[in-house]
Structure 1
Amino acid sequence: MTPQDMESRIVRYGDLQPCKTAFIDAHTPGSDQKENFTIIGGGVSESPDQHVHITIPHGFNIGAAGQPPKCRNSLHDHRTAEAFFVLSGRWRFFWGRYGDAGEVVLEKGDIFNIPTGVFRGFENIGSDYGMIMAILGGDDAGGGVMWAPQVIEDAADHGLVLAETGKLYDTKKGEALPGDVGPMPLMEADELAKRGEPTTAQVLPNHVARYWDMVALSDRSPAKVIGETGILRDKPGFEVNFITRGSASERAGSFAHPSVLMPVTGHWKVTWDGGSATLAPGDTMSVPEGMAHTVLPSMTGEAAIYQIVGTADPAGLTWQG
């Protein structure tokens, strides 16, 4: 594959195109400054304004959320897996029906694999603009977002109405639901009762991996972070590996499914038959299935990169309580 072909599969951090109207809480105070990015796949945006950088199906989606300090993402759930790692900033994740069942604070490089069946939200508690990168299971990302009822009610008070079709309408702009389309119904009591309320102690051992722990575990070989035999054991339709300078190999490798490379620290040179490219933190590179390639640090200093590989597994863990 030529360098030109591969360049079309690389999204540079500086080229990311944000959407500020992606979700129902785009007008809600406290959530109205967030930016949503859809990097690979269709994503779960409810806005036609959302730009998709790479539309090639991978069996999973890659996205990102950028938020200034004190900005939060409202409580929601997905039908497929959702995993986040922190690219920059300091983030508080919280969960439960009202967001008070438990919480965890993540720093740069930390990763959180959130099971389905639990309402979750997050906020930037750092002092600067921060970015978290997201991996969503499935090509259609589970068909969208399921919001906690109070989120839909709060949004309506600020002019945004979500249709049952998943499309947003802004009443402040004079938009209204079509006559044959109803509003998104609030989740019924029986569905709400199925949502998990795990404590922080229940979540931390099995769903959160810390950057420096992964650095230690990957000193000689890549650490499998998410997978059937991973630090976080799950089969969400993708596996996540963590590679550092000590575990990077000059031996070329390939996968049966598409994979994605996402540096956290340092610069990484990806080489294949026909070309090479250098990635920096915040860049995202899609590697075609079957293409042999090497991934090596290109400069001295700290270096770590996430590698996401598609699998044929289903949606992943649902919280069992």
Structure 2
Amino acid sequence: MTPEQMEQRIVRYGDLQPCKTAFIDAHTPGSDRKENFTIIGGGVSESPDQHVHLRETPGFNIGAAGQPPNCRNSLHSHHSAEVFFVLKGRWRFFWGRWGTAGEFIAEEGDIFNIPTGIFRAFENVGTDYGMIMAILGGDDAGGGVVWAPQVITDAKDYGLVLGENGRLYDSKKGQSLPEGMQPMPLLDDDQLQSFPEPTTAEVIPNCVARYWDLMALSDRQPAKVIGAEGILRDRPGFDVEFLSRNSIPDTPYALDRHEVLMPMRGHWRLTWAGGTTTLNPGDTAAIPPGLEHALAPSMTGEASLYRVMNTQDPAGATGRLL
């Protein structure tokens, strides 16, 4: 593989292209300044304006959300796995029908394996622009987003309507629902009863791993974060590992499955038979199966990285029990 071919498989943080109208709450005050990024796969964006960096999926999707302080993503649910780690900033995650069932504050490097099938939301509670990286289960990311009814109702007052086809129509751009198209129906009371309301005490031990704990656990080998043998035992169609400076030797290795490298801290040197490059925080590199390569920090100081690999488990499924 030539350096040019490898570079085509790397999405650099500085090259990320945001969509500011990705979801139905894009004009709603408090949520109207957020940016959505689809890095690998089409993600769950509802906008035809969403830029997709790498369309080929390895059994999961990679995305990101960028938000200024006090900006939130509204309450929604997914049919499949959703995992976040905090790249920049300080974030509050909260969940439940009205967002009052539970919450916790995530610091930089923390990872959250959100329980499938609950309403969840998040907001930047830091002082600067923040970024969270997302892993979504399945090649089609579970088929989209399910919004809490009040989110859809509020959006109508600001010109956005979600069609039953899962696409947004913006009256501010002169758009309206196509003839014969109905708006996305609101969930009724019976449907809403099926969404769990776990408490903070139930969620955190099973679904959250803290950055500095992972740094300690990864001192001599990769820390298994999400997977059948992970700290957070789950089988969502992908495994997540955490690497720090002494986790792996800098000798070449190859895997028989897809590997996505996502640096958190420091600069990492990626070497293969065709060349070498440096991965920086916020970059995303898709390594194909069978490619022999080596990975090592390229400078002194703190270094950490999340590694995601596809599994044979049903895509997007979850074995987690609260």
Residue pair 1:60, 1:141 contacting (<8 A) in 2 also: yes
Distance apart, 1:318 and its partner CA: 7.0
Residue pair 2:236, 2:319 contacting (<8 A) in 1 also: no
DSSP-derived class of the 1:69 partner: coil
Q: Taking structure 1 as the reference length, what is the TM-score of the superposition? A: 0.98
In 2, the alpha carbon distance for the partners of 1:167 and 1:72 equals 21
1:79 aligns with 2:79: yes
Distance apart, 1:320 and its partner CA: 5.5
Q: CA, structure 1 residues 258+319, in 2 after alignment: closer, same or farther (shift >3 Å)?
A: closer
DSSP-derived class of the 1:194 partner: coil
1:242 aligns with 2:239: no
1:316 aligns with 2:320: no
DSSP-derived class of the 1:122 partner: strand
Aligned 1:41-80 pairs, distance under 5 A: 41-80=41-80
Hey, what does 2:277 align to over in structure 1? 277
Hey, what does 2:135 align to over in structure 1? 135
Residue pair 1:17, 1:37 contacting (<8 A) in 2 also: yes
Hey, what does 1:119 align to over in structure 2? 119
Distance apart, 1:256 and its partner CA: 2.2
Kindly report the root-mean-square deviation, in angstroms, between the aligned alpha carbons of the 2 structures: 1.1
Point out where structure 1 has 5 or more consecutive residues left out of the alignment.
Answer: none
1:161 aligns with 2:123: no
DSSP-derived class of the 1:142 partner: helix
Aligned 1:71-220 pairs, distance under 5 A: 71-220=71-220
Hey, what does 1:33 align to over in structure 2? 33
Hey, what does 1:290 align to over in structure 2? 290
Distance apart, 1:187 and its partner CA: 1.3
In 2, the alpha carbon distance for the partners of 1:86 and 1:125 equals 12
In 2, the alpha carbon distance for the partners of 1:280 and 1:181 equals 45
DSSP-derived class of the 1:195 partner: coil
Q: Taking structure 2 as the reference length, what is the TM-score of the superposition? A: 0.98
In 2, the alpha carbon distance for the partners of 1:254 and 1:166 equals 39
Name the amino acid aligned to 1:316: A
Name the amino acid aligned to 1:231: I
Equivalences, count:
321
Residue pair 1:117, 1:319 contacting (<8 A) in 2 also: no
In 1, the alpha carbon distance for the partners of 2:148 and 2:259 equals 33
1:24 aligns with 2:28: no
DSSP-derived class of the 1:32 partner: coil
Hey, what does 1:9 align to over in structure 2? 9
Residue pair 1:116, 1:318 contacting (<8 A) in 2 also: no
Superposed CA offset, 1:187-220 (max 9, x none): 1222211111000000000100000000000000
In 2, the alpha carbon distance for the partners of 1:313 and 1:190 equals 31
Superposed CA offset, 1:19-74 (max 9, x none): 00000000000000000000001111000110000111210000000000000000
In 2, the alpha carbon distance for the partners of 1:201 and 1:263 equals 30
Superposed CA offset, 1:107-127 (max 9, x none): 110000012110000000000
Name the amino acid aligned to 1:4: E
Percent identity between matched residues is 68
DSSP-derived class of the 2:183 partner: coil
